[in-house]
């Protein structure tokens, strides 16, 4: 049954991605659809709808259309990876849909390409009070992305596998994690302790699964905005990941593994632990309703007592510079950021609101969401890739060097020296 479910999910993802590509290819950029009665149609590309309960995002969009009868919204929905691919292509050719879901890692490049609009101006034109926004992603003082929903990336642990391996508590330090990962890997059944996605095509594993160990112990990969990859803290992270690899506790296929593969391995009980987004709680429970798992902070260096950095990512939103309907597009942004709507959306997504006056509704929330909210409140959100130029290229170049370390083709010191050189050529 699990194999059949997996095949069905993959076929659905492929079909959705093909459909998204076809629609975005056909639209050729921001919509200029306007009917004779003044009604306009906005195209909105995002990966959010497939990660929300069925039909829930359509309902929110329908509510917007009811409140704004002269604006129609055409949703272009697909998985994260295919949406990213299409938007990167659209940004380069200035053919983005009117409204776009954004990852903070894309903002610098899209803004410098002139593909996304200066939202500071759109806010001013609309008389919008931006003091209600929890954060804004800016470049040279101009806002290009507004985070709609924020997701922390805690440690997910399979409690049954921990118990089977004789581990009586969720790991809190690197030593405890390594010990638990080894015991899980030794417990039989081809199960491994940890999943590490390092596919260079989508290199966000460096952000979510590698640098998360650095941030959890209060470390930084930057100094005064410049690369600082040859510090003892960064070196200790790479050496730690190498030690886990050498111990044989990482799931096989890490060098070509994508995030969705990691989630699938955890869901099917092939790995005991992973660092992952809260957005996937729904997916995991839908496909493995009997899986008993918990969330916890990413383990820190032994002896660390400060606040733990919490990896996070956002469902960000922006407006295409090529759109003929920027004012209408910003109305959709405003609607999604209203306290009531934003609170509802963040609750549905198992995330935290982008409107700082909004509150997620814990009444019917999964207990794991409540636990993650505590982790969020007790820690410090940390993602140093947000806003960096060519951030995915930075991740990729680091990924390539890490892979050389893990395959014994270079030393940790040489890999960090090369990464420092690569990053310094990008971050001026």
pLDDT digits (tens, 9 = 90+) for 292-343: 999 999 999 999 999 999 888 899 999 999 999 999 999 999 999 999 999 9
Question: Rounded to 5 degrees, what are φ and ψ at 217?
Answer: -105, 20
Give CA–CA dist 407/322, Å, rounded: 45
Between CA 238 and CA 216 the distance in angstroms is 14
Output the six-digit token pair for 102: 């954004």
User: Residue ranges of the chain with pLDDT lower than 50?
Assistant: 1-19, 21-23, 26, 28
pLDDT at residue 410, as a whole number: 98
Write the CA distances from 380 to 186, 268, 298, integer angstroms.
34, 31, 12
Write the CA distances from 359 to 176, 310, 311, 351, integer angstroms.
35, 20, 21, 11
Query: Can you say how many angstroms the Cα of residue 267 is from the centroid of all Cα atoms in its chain?
Result: 18
Q: What pLDDT was estimated at residue 32?
A: 54
**What structural domains does the chain harbor?**
2-150+313-371 (3.40.190.10), 155-296+389-424 (3.40.190.10)
Residue 403 and residue 412: Cα distance in Å, rounded? 11
The first and second tokens of residue 16, run together, are 């959705």
Rounded CA separation 116/94 (Å)? 9
Q: Which two tokens stand for residue 421?
A: 């050189």
Q: For residue 350, what pLDDT is reported?
A: 79
Assess contact for 184 and 262: CB atoms under 8 A: no
What does DSSP say about strands 226-227 and 309-319: parallel, antiparallel, or unpaired? unpaired
Q: How far apart are CA 350 and CA 279, in angstroms?
A: 6
Angle between helices 232-246 and 412-424 (to 10 degrees): 130
CB 199 within 8 A of CB 403: no
pLDDT at residue 145, rounded to an integer: 96
Residues 46-94: pLDDT tens digits?
999 998 989 999 999 999 999 999 999 999 999 998 999 999 999 999 9
Predicted TM-score (pTM) of this structure: 0.73
337, 340, 346, 350: CA torsion to nearest 10: 180
Supply the pLDDT for residue 33: 59
Cβ atoms of 390 and 310 closer than 8 Å: no
């Amino acid at each position: 049954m699990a194999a059949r479910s997996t095949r069905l999910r993959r076929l659905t993802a492929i079909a959705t991605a093909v459909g998204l590509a076809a629609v975005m290819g056909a639209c050729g950029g921001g919509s200029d659809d306007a009917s004779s009665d003044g009604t306009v149609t906005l195209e909105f590309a995002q990966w959010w709808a497939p990660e929300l309960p069925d039909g829930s995002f359509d309902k929110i969009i329908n509510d917007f259309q009811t409140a704004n009868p002269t604006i129609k919204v055409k949703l272009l929905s697909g998985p994260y990876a295919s949406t990213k691919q299409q938007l990167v292509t659209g940004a380069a050719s200035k053919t983005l849909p009117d409204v776009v879901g954004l990852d903070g890692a894309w903002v610098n490049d899209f803004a410098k390409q002139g593909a996304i609009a200066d939202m500071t101006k759109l806010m001013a034109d609309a008389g919008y009070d931006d003091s209600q926004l929890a954060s804004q992603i800016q470049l040279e003082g101009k806002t290009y992305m507004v985070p709609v929903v924020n997701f922390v990336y805690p440690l997910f642990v399979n409690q049954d596998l921990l118990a089977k391996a004789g581990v009586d508590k969720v790991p809190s330090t690197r030593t405890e994690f390594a010990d638990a990962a080894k015991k899980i890997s030794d417990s039989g059944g081809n199960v491994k302790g940890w999943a590490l996605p390092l596919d260079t095509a989508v290199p966000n594993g460096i952000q979510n699964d590698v640098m998360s160990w650095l941030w959890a112990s209060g470390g930084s990969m930057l100094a005064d905005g410049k690369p600082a990859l040859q510090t003892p803290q960064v070196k200790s992270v790479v050496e730690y990941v190498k030690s886990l690899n050498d111990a044989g506790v990482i799931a096989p296929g890490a060098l070509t593994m994508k995030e969705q593969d990691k989630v699938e391995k955890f869901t099917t009980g092939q790995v005991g632990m992973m660092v992952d987004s809260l957005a996937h709680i729904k997916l995991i429970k839908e496909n493995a309703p009997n899986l008993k798992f918990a969330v916890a902070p990413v383990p820190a260096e032994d002896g660390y007592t400060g606040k733990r950095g919490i990896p996070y990512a956002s469902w960000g939103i922006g407006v295409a510079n090529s759109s003929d309907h920027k004012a209408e597009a910003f109305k959709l942004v405003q609607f999604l950021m209203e306290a009531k709507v934003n609170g509802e959306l963040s609750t549905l997504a198992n995330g935290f609101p982008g409107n700082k006056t909004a509150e997620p509704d814990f009444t019917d929330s999964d207990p794991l969401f409540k636990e993650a909210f505590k982790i969020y409140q007790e820690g410090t959100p940390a993602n140093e890739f947000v806003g960096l130029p060519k951030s995915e290229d930075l991740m990729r170049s680091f990924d390539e060097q890490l892979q050389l370390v893990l395959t014994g083709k270079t030393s940790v010191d040489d890999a960090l020296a090369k990464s420092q050189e690569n990053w310094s050529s990008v971050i001026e």
